[in-house]
Amino acid sequence: MATNGVNGTNGVNGTYSKHDFSSLKVNESRLMDAIHTGCKYGAAHRYGDHPTETGMARLSLNDADKQIRDWFLATAETLNCKTSVDQMGNLFAVRPGRNSEAPPIMMGSHLDTQPTGGRYDGILGVNSALEVLKVLHENNMETEGSIGVVNWTNEEGARFPMMAVSSGVWAEAVPLETAWNLAEVSPSGEDGEKRTMKQELERIGYLGEQPASYKAFPMACHFEVHIEQGPSLEIEKRRVGVVKGVQAFKWFEITVKGRDSHAGTTPYHARMDSMLCAAKLIVESNKISKEHGGLSTTGIVTGQPGSINTMAHTVTFTLDIRHTQDDKLAEIEKSCRTAFSRIAEKESEKGCKIEWKELVDSPAVNFHADCIAAVEASAKEVVQELPMTADDGQLWRYMISGAGHDSCYTNRRCPTSMIFTPTKDGISHNPVEYCSPEDCAIGAQVLLGAVLRYDKMRAERGDFA
């Protein structure tokens, strides 16, 4: 695949045909340089000798996140973009088109990472979008409508425990005050206090004045490039996933209350052991999800008072349940609630009490047909240039995302779709997460073609009349 950005026929110096965009190519080396340059902010967890062989620990609104935000805005301004920041710290950069008053086509993802994250989750999406703007800029291309990039705040939910919270506020699915008051999972300062999102937005200087709402910043549509975060594309030797939707999921915080007592003097029949009860609940959730064809995960467990020879009086754990169908997810939740009550009351010696707190409710998502069609058409064109590797002769496939993304919320307010790239060994949320330079460039090239096709469609159907 040509990825040099300038090839003599792509319209430099005004020779570009208005909708003949097939010759425009992303620059693979420039894209990778941008990814790895930005990853110096928050690099951690070295696993090899090469300078790029580190993971990332750029949690939302920490000092490294401020640095990458500064870098993002500086980069966008070199491309003559209009930039803005909203009340959730979402960063918008828009390259004006011929009809600059109409809502822009937006490409978006996130730059925050997990505590032991990699260099591609979210990061590839933002940099692919910036690369699209660089191609348009260097070719002096005037699009029909404006095209821009958004960096969504705290998509991961790793520091502030609500994933995609800021795109949720933009979609008016999450109240602003709820998001602002989210406290970090673990204290980040020496004072031991947990800081809120609003406090940290203020501290790093990214508490914007623009309302965090689709009404204040409407979008014509939203496209997102992302690594698959699973093994399917790699196993099937395909190069692109055309994402049609996202499976449903819910996050809960489960609190189990028992009684702290001496480990050596309290017989089993007299115990109210919240840790043992919690362990049984976690195992049961796994069993239930398997029976329903879904997934269940516990990522955080905390116990108090935290003494080796004392039973915990309180244990809190997270529960993440997922299924491709909303009704099946509801069955998993219902079965878990019933089983948890039984186990706590009747299978935990003297018994424990349980409290459920819902953190996230993300129904199954079906992306917009027009956006899917634009991605599919672009994917078909891009893979034509590639050597055949798939056994069935098709280098792209439709996919349903197993993970949640900001696109789940944008889909509520504007047409949306996603593009998946292969992930080495299916590993993500891990320092060794990897997508090859060629596959990164393929994803960005599909994005470029999809955006320009959608821009052309808007003009043809009279969106700018």
What is the pLDDT, as a whole number, of residue 465?
85
Q: How far is the CA of 435 from the CAs of 111, 118, 422, 427, in angstroms?
A: 16, 10, 6, 10
pLDDT of 385 reads: 87
pLDDT at 19: 53
Give the confidence band of 241 by pLDDT, cuts at 50, 70, 90. very high
Tens of pLDDT, residues 324-377: 999 999 999 999 999 999 999 999 999 999 999 998 888 899 999 999 999 999
Q: Is the pLDDT score of 18 beyond 70?
A: no
CA torsion 87→448→70→99, rounded to 10°?
Answer: -60
Q: What is the pLDDT of residues 427-440, one digit of tens each?
A: 999 999 999 999 99
Rounded to an integer, the average pLDDT of 117-132 is: 98
pLDDT band for position 22 (cuts 50, 70, 90): confident
Whole-number percent of the chain with pLDDT over 70: 96
Q: In Å, how far from its chain's centre is CA 156?
A: 6
Amino acid at 126: V
Counting DSSP H helices and E strands in the chain, the numbers are: 12, 16
pLDDT tens-digit profile of 289-315? 999 999 999 999 999 999 999 999 999
Residues contacting residue 290 through CB under 8 Å, at least 6 positions apart: none
- The mean pLDDT of 3-32, rounded to a whole number, is 61
In order of their start, the domains of the chain are 28-247+364-461 (3.40.630.10), 248-362 (3.30.70.360)
Residue 13 has pLDDT above 60, yes or no: no
Q: Give me the mean pLDDT over the 38-67 stretch.
A: 98
Does 459 score more than 90 pLDDT? yes
Per the structure block, which two tokens stand in for 42?
């928050």
Residue among 333, 453, 314, 360 at smallest CA distance from 163: 360
Q: Per-residue b/e over 428-448, b at no fewer than 16 CB within 10 Å?
A: bbbbbbbbeebbbbbbbbbbb
Confidence class of residue 6 from pLDDT cuts 50, 70 and 90?
very low
Q: Distance from first CA to last CA of the chain, Å, rounded?
A: 37
Reported confidence tier of residue 20, pLDDT bands at 50, 70, 90: low
pLDDT (average), residues 232-251: 96
